[in-house]
Structure 1
Amino acid sequence: MNITSSIQEFQIMFAKLFSGAAITMAMLAAAAAHADDVKVLNFGIISTESSKNLKQDWQPVLDELSKRTGIKVNGFFASDYAGIIEGMRFGKVQMGWFGNKSAMEAVDRASGEVFAHVVNPDGSAGYYSLVGVQKDSPNKSIEDILKNAKGLTFGIGDPNSTSGFLVPSYYIFAKNNVDSKTAFKVIRTSNHEANILAVANKQIDAAVFASDTMARIEERQPAIAKEVRIVWKSPLIAADPLVWRKDLPADVKAKIKDFFVNYGKTGPNAAQEKVQLAKLEYSGFEESSDAQLNPIRQLELFKQKGKLEADANLSADDKKAKLDDINRKLSDLAKS
């Protein structure tokens, strides 16, 4: 190899290295610019009760988040859970407070990722699905409600609600081979607060709602709470997750996570933040991940499995193939 060709090869190699470095630097610069360009974030809040109550409880947290991150944070409310999920899917919502079922939908369909979860006042990391009746109701148990279902009006939660829909669908209906859509005289869908109020006011006979919403009613409207008697309580459900879009810049994610995991714990405003957490019925937030959704995924798959096994219209081969797929997914979740 002569000196001229060696120089030419070196020039080509240098040009490639320089080009690669330039591209890398350009990508890093673009990422940094993208992070700097984040001026406003929308925080989605699922509709467990009225928007007025939710805004009252969450707005001080979002205002403080704005101050700490230097990014304006707006509360985003919708009339149902799907509105928050779709908002995240189309980039109108960048992060938010979800239930586990709606968080699962956000992760699967809306580029979501769990980064934290709430912690209850007693330090526990979970809550319950409840069924309540009016205090003078002759129905004393969930068995009574199922036995008398044809004559009852029943309130259930949003289809994307964990405690309002998924958990009772499995533990009350699927495990008892009951079709909730046809079992009752009337079945109504509403948020947790509305279901509690409807039972208390004898507008419906029984309803599903979350234990944390019931705790807020007991604190704010004790006379209403006294009109409701609990007849069923679910196994513990993992505490509500906070979810952000995966495509948020890394430095923005770091600021958001740091804010939530330290809220009410450190800093000059910790005492005031603890008061605000008490209004939300929380003691704080802890770091989490998508793994907290695995039990909910298992519940959803068990529910699907029960429906398939009871489906007389499927051919044996189709049923076997679908059941094998569900069993594979359940096995994979058990290993994770």
Structure 2
Amino acid sequence: MITRRLILGAAAALALTGAAQAQDWKAKYPEIVYAIIPSENASGVTDRWTPFVSYLSKELGTKVTLRIANDYAAVIEGQRSGNIHIAQYGPASYARAYVTGVKTEPFAIETNLDGTKGYYSVLWVKANSPYQKIEDLKGKNLCLVDPNSTSGNNVPRFAMNKLGITPEQFFGKVVYAGSHENAVLGVQQGTCDAAFNWWNDEKESNLLRMASKSMVKAEDFRMIFKSDQIVNSPFAYLSDLPADLKAKIKQAVLDMPKKDPEAFKKIYDGKQGVWEPIDHKAYEPVVELIGFVDSLRKKS
């Protein structure tokens, strides 16, 4: 016979089990490390993401530390070694982690204000330069971002292959700038004649973020190429984290835009939509893309 006492006892037992599980993972993970790829200078990343880390610490009830990686590969290797528990990747760097055996899984994706979940790779040149298309840059210097950057390397190489262009043969020099900001600065300073970068729309791009910080003037640059849409960047946690910890991280991240709207607004200057759930399937086309780009490198 089921009594109220039995029901209350079972509920109490479940609560104790949940509390015990939480204590188990807190004992094993007294500190959670969140890492992000270097899309801009370190101070800019710190300003944007410190409120997020503080929010996550409060929601998880444990210390969360922000780590700003030196390059994309550092995030991949940090998750491979288990030293980075949560990472925000670019699509191609996540795909690179996946194909090289890193046990990581995406759980949330950035969205745009209009609800779409994609962005573009664009090519900037100086506004007063004569270049109108990629083919006009033969023998000139090109700034890419990082070998594992989606919009700053992999998509550009795929697009140039369609045009019959092998970058290392076509351009006078190909430079990996290290970050999206550095690539744009390369054009501004004359190190490069053109630079690939990320671009959401007319209101949100790396160039506009730099202009808002008075690093460059947006009107000094002109776009001569825009790719097909690329799926937005994922948050990914280690696959072997405890299930209850993963569930708590995912819920906290997805809830942040409504629980701490000011901190969320600071991350994207109010120019990005809420985070939504995602899984690996969304990134399978990017996995195929980096496989194709790798095959191009082997041929060149």
Matched, 1:273 2:263: yes
Aligned counterparts, 1:74-223, within 5 A? 74-108=65-99, 109-145=101-137, 149-150=138-139, 152-172=140-160, 174-190=161-177, 191-211=179-199, 212-221=205-214, 223=216
Please tell me the residue identity of whatever aligns with 1:157: V
Q: Please name the residue that 1:21 is paired with.
A: none
Secondary structure of 1:121 counterpart: coil
Tell me, yes or no, if the aligned pair for 2:110 and 2:274 is still in contact at 8 Å.
yes
Shift of 1:49: 1.6
Please tell me the residue identity of whatever aligns with 2:163: N
Tell me, yes or no, if the aligned pair for 1:157 and 1:209 is still in contact at 8 Å.
yes
TM-score by length of 1: 0.76
Q: Higher helix proportion, which one?
A: 1
5+ residue gaps, structure 1, are: 1-27, 312-336
Tell me, yes or no, if the aligned pair for 1:134 and 1:202 is still in contact at 8 Å.
no
Secondary structure of 1:159 counterpart: coil
Tell me, yes or no, if the aligned pair for 1:274 and 1:283 is still in contact at 8 Å.
no
**Greater relative contact order (CA < 8 Å, ≥ 6 in sequence):** 2
Distance change (3 Å), C-alpha of 1:274 and 1:93: closer
Shift of 1:176: 2.1
Computing the radius of gyration from Cα coordinates, the structure with the larger value is 1
State the Cα deviation string for residues 18-74 of structure 1 (Å, max 9, x = none).
xxxxxxxxxx99966541312211111101221111111111111111111112111
Distance change (3 Å), C-alpha of 1:179 and 1:278: closer
Distance in 2 (CA, whole Å) between partners of 1:142 and 1:77 is 33
State the Cα deviation string for residues 296-319 of structure 1 (Å, max 9, x = none).
1222344456678x68xxxxxxxx
Tell me, yes or no, if the aligned pair for 2:96 and 2:290 is still in contact at 8 Å.
no
Tell me, yes or no, if the aligned pair for 1:43 and 1:96 is still in contact at 8 Å.
yes
Q: Higher strand proportion, which one?
A: 2
Aligned counterparts, 1:251-290, within 5 A? 251-265=244-258, 267=259, 269-270=260-261, 272-279=262-269, 281-290=271-280
Distance change (3 Å), C-alpha of 1:80 and 1:223: closer
Tell me, yes or no, if the aligned pair for 1:97 and 1:243 is still in contact at 8 Å.
yes
Query: Which residue, 56, 60, 81 being the options, matches 1:69?
Result: 60
Please tell me the residue identity of whatever aligns with 1:100: P
Q: RMSD of aligned C-alpha atoms?
A: 2.3
Secondary structure of 1:178 counterpart: coil
5+ residue gaps, structure 2, are: 1-17, 200-204
Distance change (3 Å), C-alpha of 1:120 and 1:222: farther
Distance in 2 (CA, whole Å) between partners of 1:280 and 1:192 is 20
